[in-house]
Structures are given as C-alpha cells and as structure tokens.
Amino acid sequence: MTTTVNTTDTKASPAVPGTGLDPGTQPDAYASTSDDRRLSQLDALEAEAILVIREMAGELERPALLFSGGKDSVVMLHLATKAFWPAPIPFPVLHVDTGHNFPEVLAYRDETVERLGLRLVVASVQDYIDDGRLRERADGTRNPLQTLPLLDAINDNRFDGVFGGGRRDEEKARAKERIVSLRDEFGQWDPKNQRPELWNLFNPRHRPGEHVRVFPISNWTEVDIWRYIDREDIPLAPLYYAHEREVFNRDGMWLAVGPVSQPRDDEQVETRLVRYRTVGDMSCTGAVESPARTNAEIVLEVAASTLTERGATRADDRISEAAMEDRKKEGYF
Amino acid sequence: MSAPTQSTPVLDPAAVAGAARGTLLRLATAGSVDDGKSTLVGRLLHDTKSVLSDQLAAVERVSRDRGLTAADLALLTDGLRAEREQGITIDVAYRYFATANRSFVLADCPGHVQYTRNTVTGSSTADVVVLLVDARKGVLEQTRRHLAVTALLRVPHVVVAVNKIDLVDFSQEVYERVEAEVRAVARELGVVDATTIPVSALDGDNIAERSERTPWYAGPSLLELLEALPPSDDPAHESFRLPVQLVIRPQGAARDEAHRDYRGYAGQVASGVVRVGDEVVALPSGRRTTVVGIDLGERSLDEAFAPQSVTLRLADEIDISRGDVIAAAADAPVPTQDIEAVVCWLGDAPLRPAQRLLLKHGSRTVQTAVRSLNGALDLDNLHAVPAEALSLNDIGLVTLRLAAPLPVENYSLSRRGGSFLLIDAHDGRTLAAGMVGATLPSGAPAPTEPEGDEEWEI
C-alpha cells in the first residue's frame, strides 16, 4: 500500500526562496504509519475537511469560499482542490476587501485565483465608505466594517453557503460554533440556539433567505495549519516569513509603517526582522519578531509560542472579552 | 510596555513532528452540575501546556474581577457572554491539546442545560467519554443517565473520573465503594468498556501525573490512560462501505487534457478497507463492478481505509449517483424501506406517530413517516415505558417507513452505517439522532410505590 505522502500536490515552488522543506525534515515526517492502518492526526483532519467540503458541495445550490489570501483560506483552497480533483473547484471565491490590505497579500490573492482558474467576487468596504453606506470608525479599524459588504455579497449573489477558514482554537466564541452553522435572514448567529451536530452527518438545510457558514478546518490548530503547509509545500504570501520591515510599537504590537498605519509622535520607527502570524486589516494587525524563514522553522516557532495568534497580532480582539462573539452575532465570519 | 519579542524556539523538532504523526483521539466530557467538570478540562489543558499566557492572563483578570483568589480554570472553556454572565456552560465547546504522541479534540459537554442533547452530540463522535463523579456523592441519577446515553451511542471507552478525592481524605474505602457502584451500573446498562480513576481536578492528582496521595491506586493517570487507549475500530475488521458524496466528471473543464474522460466516485470510507482490484457493489441498485483506481487528490493509492476521503474509479460505467453506497460485494447490506430505531428527540415540538420527516443517512436524504412509537426510555428507572409522543430530550423506540430503500446497518455493528438524522422538511432543523436496530434497556421494572388505589389496581 502507499500511504507515504508525496509533497507534489502543489507543483508551484514556494513564493519565497528557501521556504521549501527543510533538508532536516523527512518528506514523510507527517505520514500515517502504513502497517496498522491508523491515520496520522494531520491525515485525519484532512479527511474530515474534505468530507465537509464535498458534502456541502453536494447539498448546497450556490456555495462560495471566503478567500483573503491569508494562510487559513489558502489551506481551505488547497483542501478544496484535493476534494474535487481532477475537476476544478465548482464554486467562486469571495473576498471581503477592507481596503487596508497588505499589498503582498492582494498580489498573492490574484496570482492564486489566476493559477487555479477561479472566479473571484470582491465585496469592497472602500466602496461602502465612498458612497456613505458605511462610515470610518474613530479607531480607523475596518475589520468590524466587513459584515455589511459580506452580507450584501451573499444576498446579491444568492449564495446559500459560505465556506470559511475559521478555527475553534482561535477564539472562545469560535470554540462554540458548529462546523455547519446556520445564519438567519439578517446573517446573525444565535449561539444559544445551535443545531446539534451528530456523528459526521452534516445538515445545511435552511429556509429561504437564511444561509449557512461552513468551517471545514474547525478542528485544526495554528500549528496543524503550519505542519500541513509544510507537508504539502503550499505557497504563501511572503510576509508570513521573516523579513526586514519598518515597524513601530503600539500597545505591545509591531505595526508596519504604511498608508493606513502611521506612527504617532511618541512612537519610534525601527527596522526589525519580523513576520506575520495573521494577515488582516493592516492598521491593526501586528507583526511578531521572528527569524523563521522556512515552514519547518515556523512550525517549531508556533509550537513554542506562549501567545495565541490573535492575542499576539490583533488589536481589535483585545477590545473586550466578547469582541468576536459580538461581531459574529451581527453576521461576521 | 515591552515589545512582543519571540524567544528562539528550543523545542525538539522530532517531538513536534512526532505529535503530527501520532493519532487523533476524540474525547467528550460529561458530568453533573458542580462535579468539577470545567475544572477538570481546565486542568487537562493547563497540565498539557495547552493554555497560552494571554489566555491565562485573561482568566486571571476575570477571576480577580469576580473576587476569586485563584484563577477559575472553568473560565477557559466558558466562551460566550451569557455563559460568563450566568456562570454556566450553555453549549458544547471544543478544545485542543496534545501530548508527545497523540492529539486530542475535546468536546466539553455541559451537564445541566439540555444534557441529553449535549451528551448525545458529544458522544456521537467520541472515541472516549470522560464522566465525572463526585467522590462524596457517588453515582447519582444523572450519572446513570449519562452512562445510559454513552451505552446507547456505543462510545468505545468510558472513563469514570472519581473527582474531589481530596475532599474524602484520599480514602481508598470511599473510592472502592464508588468504583463498585459504577461497575454495577455500567454492567446493567451495557457500557462497552469502563475504567475508573480517583482524581482531584482542583489539585491535579492523577490527572497528568500519578499522585503520591493515592498510594493504594496502582492504575494510570487520566492522561496516561487517554494516551494509551486504542483508537476506535480497526478498519481491517470491518466491511467496506463508502457513501458517494459526488460524482467527479470534469469533462471539458478538466485542468489537464489527460483527465477529460475521468469519472470517479468521491466519498469518505465509512468503514473497512478497499483495495484496487476489489469487487464492489453499488447500492441500492445492486450492480457489481471492480475498483480500478483510488485517488486522494492527484496521488494514487493501492488501498484506502476508514476514515480516508478518497475518489474511487470503477471498471464499468454503471449508474451511481450522490447518495448511493459502494460496498464490498461479499457482504453488502440489504437495502430496506422499513426500519426500527432508537431516536434521541431534539426538537422543540414533540414527535408523534404518523409524522412525516426527512431522514439523512450517509449522503442520502429521503422522506420518512413515523409508523409507530413503540416506547420511551424512562430516565428515572432507565427502562422502556409506553409513550404517545416524544418531547425534547426524550429517547424512544420507533418504526419508520422510508420513501426509498436505504442500505442501513445495525448501529451495534457500525456506528457510521447505523446512524441517521431526522430533519424538519419545512425549516431544515435537525430533530433527532437515530440508531438503527438499537433497543432500549428493558430490565425488570424498578419497584414503584403505588400512588393511589387506581394505580394499585393495575
């Protein structure tokens, strides 16, 4: 039998030189052992995610996959590619564009859409601000502003299901959410009234006007994501790997100097060796100091980290104990 | 404020890779109110170093705000605003921790609100249920109910953690009394495999490390036991089944010209092993053919086993569509339109005979009608009693008529092949968890005190 994993699923070379497999890592380091027919935990997580993606493709009429260019959504796309191979992914990808993107991530998004021959639907927060449907917040953060354009895009395109890369280890409210999660006609999540999710029988049925959010990688942790990226040699946007960048320190986070994040008078700009653990709204997503230039080095770094990725890098999630829950109830992903 | 510096990692690369090569164990917790379940979960996360410093800092801050002297580890799992406001757990929360050779997905099931719904949900996917019992109280009514549900759901392993052993002065006598009670109830209810461990979740005795304060206990710590448990069923001993989720036919859309004529049947192996060359049968049509290829993405396999998600290529172009089951030709199930099953009712409105519903089994959804309701589980005495309806959280025995034949199997032989959902056709809600061929514990009716003369007459 062949359970040895070949790292040939993505033929393209990594986006950054030197981000391939570390020579010290055996190609089969994550493979299931072949003699006793037990799946390794990474293979078990992959099998579960593919099951969910295929089942929703079979049940739903018009699904779409949220794709930001961030690592979790890249892993989602990779899993979808495997789920339907050799057929193309049978649904479009949807990006809720805050207008506060890292340029490298936007470039990566377009490259990936091109490479996989996908249809990209963009919901632009900037358009909503320009025509007055949304107003810029006092703190300048645009993460909470994504909800309205997202819900409008779902309605306008009549999407009945949206795949997201949310993980339960990210945040306490997400830890409570189902893999297939119902949203009412206003896009709201009702955490007190969730459907029971039994065995691996997933039920996305809903009334007209409602839709479901689907989280196939719910059970993956941050380190699982990096092990999988390492094993499958999935190319990522370069800012995930250590690089020199002009940054300044605000509230204990390194923010990049850019058009939407300028240092105040008392904030020193310095050049540091950093990488990003998450990519989001550039104005409130912090970098971490890191020498990790390869996937294998990042796996080790994440495994040793004493901070969660959101705690380390997201200013908006530090606002309150229930910031994420409140956003999700309004229809956020 | 100090800069968020990342220290250079000093982890052993082999250990990190080892955790990924290790197996995944799905674990659910259950217990009554105040038996320390959230504390146990917090302790497991804490002792496996799965709680990061910003999470711990948040817990300490909230604990301080509430006037507590020590960090309340229960706050690690109570994530919703209403849970923190009310100090209760509302819904199942999922947590993750890992040791050097195993990763765990933990479903933390609340004990008091909708305990049947939550315990059924958590138990349905669990390889092991950890049930908490307060050493001072022993087996309570709710312990019996939890054990009844794990027996009904056929969870492969049950670990009963006899908690608060520190509050009975680490007494061997108390522990052995509770252990004997647990064994008696487990035997009565048909629990597959139950182990007991004396623990103190608050202090960590016998959680990660064996405690010196229970020298009379020779068994493993909870974590040692969880690491050593064999994962559920060995696929080699099961019959091969694959519910077809999708037919993959790229035709002109193939990204590679070589795959224009590709035709494959995608699904997760529900049970057993399939090899290239195996003879299989498509159900319900009964047409036979041979497996000529097994694909996982662009990788070709010689064999696939549960629970891999793969795509099968077959020798003949027979009519197979989403919802069909591909099974080993030698011992395929016989499709049927009439089933008897135990259902756990999760709907707000009651289940009544003659009701029409949808039934989802594998990747197939069909209409069904409730032919008869043959009894319900009395949760006090844990035996079947006559019933005219099933209310929320009731467990009952039903006969169903299906609109089309389905290759269902007995749940006692296959958790995957014998499980189904009942769904409301109008709003799509999941109304019940069903188990084909399961029965309710009959047992001798417990002696009941007659309440009046009329009762006495009967």
Chain segment A206-239, per-residue pLDDT in tens: 999 999 999 999 999 999 999 999 999 999 999 9
Q: Is residue A94 part of a domain?
A: yes
Chain segment A291-311, per-residue pLDDT in tens: 999 999 999 988 887 777 777
Least trusted range by pLDDT, from A73-87, A260-274, B433-447: B433-447
Residues A115 and A170 reside in one and the same domain: yes
Q: What are phi and psi of B433, to 5 degrees?
A: -100, 125
Residues A197 and A245 reside in one and the same domain: no
Residues A52 and A125 reside in one and the same domain: yes
How many other CB atoms are found less than 10 A from the CB of residue B457? 7
Residues A147 and A266 reside in one and the same domain: no
Query: How many percent of chain A have pLDDT more than 70?
Result: 86
Task: Encode burial over A34-62: b for 16+ CB neighbours within 10 A, e otherwise.
Answer: eeebbbbbbbbbbbbbbbbbbbbbbbbee
CA distances to A73, A154, A281, A325, A333 from A144, in Å: 19, 17, 10, 12, 10
Of all residues in chain A, the one with the smallest CA distance to B118 is A196
Identify the band that residue A261 occupies on the pLDDT scale cut at 50, 70 and 90.
confident
Distance (Å) from the alpha carbon of B265 to chain A's nearest alpha carbon: 10
Hey, do B18-228 and B236-331 end up sharing a CATH topology, with the first three levels equal? Answer: no
Q: Do A299 and B3 touch (CB under 8 A)?
A: no
Residues A212 and A66 reside in one and the same domain: yes
Distance (Å) from the alpha carbon of A176 to chain B's nearest alpha carbon: 5
Q: Do B6 and A1 touch (CB under 8 A)?
A: no
Residue A20 has pLDDT above 60, yes or no: no
Q: Is residue A27 part of a domain?
A: no
- B219, B205 in Cβ contact below 8 A? no
Residue of B296, B366, B406 to mutate, testing the A interface (most A Cβ within 10 Å of its Cβ): B296
Nearest by Cα to B77 from B37, B33, B22, B38: B38
- A168, B96 in Cβ contact below 8 A? yes
Q: Which of A38, A205, A254 sits opposite B23 (nearest CB)?
A: A38
Q: Do B121 and A196 touch (CB under 8 A)?
A: yes
Residues 149-168 of A with CB under 8 A from B: 168
Q: Which of B17, B245, B421 sits opposite A198 (nearest CB)?
A: B421
Q: Do A300 and B93 touch (CB under 8 A)?
A: no
Q: Is residue A119 part of a domain?
A: yes
What type of residue is A136? E
Total domain count, chain A: 2
Name every chain B residue with its beta carbon within 8 A of the beta carbon of A223.
16
Q: Is residue A113 part of a domain?
A: yes
B354 touches A: beta carbon within 8 Å: no
B12 touches A: beta carbon within 8 Å: no
Residues A185 and A210 reside in one and the same domain: yes
Residue of B73, B91, B416 to mutate, testing the A interface (most A Cβ within 10 Å of its Cβ): B91
**Separation between Cα atoms, residue B206 and residue A93, nearest integer Å:** 49
- B83, B89 in Cβ contact below 8 A? yes
DSSP letters for A129-163: HHTTSS---TT---GGGGHHHHHHHHHHTT-SEEE
Contacts of A17 (CB under 8 A, 6+ apart): none
- What's the CATH code of the domain at A218? 3.40.50.620
Residues A139 and A208 reside in one and the same domain: yes
Architecture of domain B236-331: Beta Barrel (2.40)
Query: Euclidean distance between the first and final Cα of chain A, in Å?
Result: 41
Q: Do B52 and A308 touch (CB under 8 A)?
A: yes
Q: What angle do CA A219, A309, A322 make, to 5 degrees?
A: 80
Residues A54 and A125 reside in one and the same domain: yes
Task: Encode burial over A163-202: b for 16+ CB neighbours within 10 A, e otherwise.
Answer: bbbbbbbbbbbbbbbbbbbbbeeebebebeebbbbbbbbb
pTM across the whole model: 0.89
pLDDT value of residue B422: 98
Q: Do A86 and B256 touch (CB under 8 A)?
A: yes
pLDDT value of residue B11: 43
Residues 231-290 of B with CB under 8 A from A: 231, 234-236, 245-246, 248-250, 253-256, 259, 262, 266-268, 273, 275
Q: Which fold has domain B336-436?
A: Elongation Factor Tu (Ef-tu); domain 3 (2.40.30)
pLDDT value of residue B86: 65
pLDDT value of residue B333: 95
pLDDT value of residue B321: 96
Higher pLDDT, A43 or A316: A43
Distance (Å) from the alpha carbon of A95 to chain B's nearest alpha carbon: 23
Q: Which of A36, A191, A227 sits opposite B20 (nearest CB)?
A: A227
pLDDT value of residue A3: 38
Name every chain B residue with its beta carbon within 8 A of the beta carbon of A30.
17, 20-21
Range of the domain at A269: 238-317
Q: Is residue A304 part of a domain?
A: yes
Residue A48 has pLDDT above 90, yes or no: yes
Residues A271 and A207 reside in one and the same domain: no
How does pLDDT run along chain B (458 residues), one tens digit per residue? 333 333 333 344 545 555 556 888 999 998 876 777 878 888 888 888 777 777 777 778 877 887 777 777 667 766 666 666 666 666 788 888 888 888 999 998 876 656 778 888 889 999 999 999 999 999 988 888 889 889 999 999 999 999 999 999 999 999 999 999 999 999 888 887 889 999 999 889 999 999 999 999 999 999 999 999 987 677 888 899 999 999 999 988 887 888 999 999 999 999 999 999 999 999 999 999 999 999 999 999 999 999 999 999 999 989 999 999 999 999 999 999 999 999 999 999 999 999 999 999 999 999 999 999 999 998 777 789 999 999 998 999 999 999 999 999 999 999 999 999 999 999 999 999 999 998 887 654 444 443 433 333 32
Residue A245 has pLDDT above 80, yes or no: yes
- A233, A20 in Cβ contact below 8 A? yes
Q: Which fold has domain B18-228?
A: Rossmann fold (3.40.50)
A83 touches B: beta carbon within 8 Å: yes
Q: Is residue A78 part of a domain?
A: yes
Residue of B416, B430, B436 to mutate, testing the A interface (most A Cβ within 10 Å of its Cβ): B430
Residues A261 and A154 reside in one and the same domain: no
Q: Do A81 and B236 touch (CB under 8 A)?
A: no
- Report ipTM (2 d.p.): 0.89
Give domain limits for chain B.
18-228, 236-331, 336-436
Residue of A3, A172, A277 to mutate, testing the B interface (most B Cβ within 10 Å of its Cβ): A172
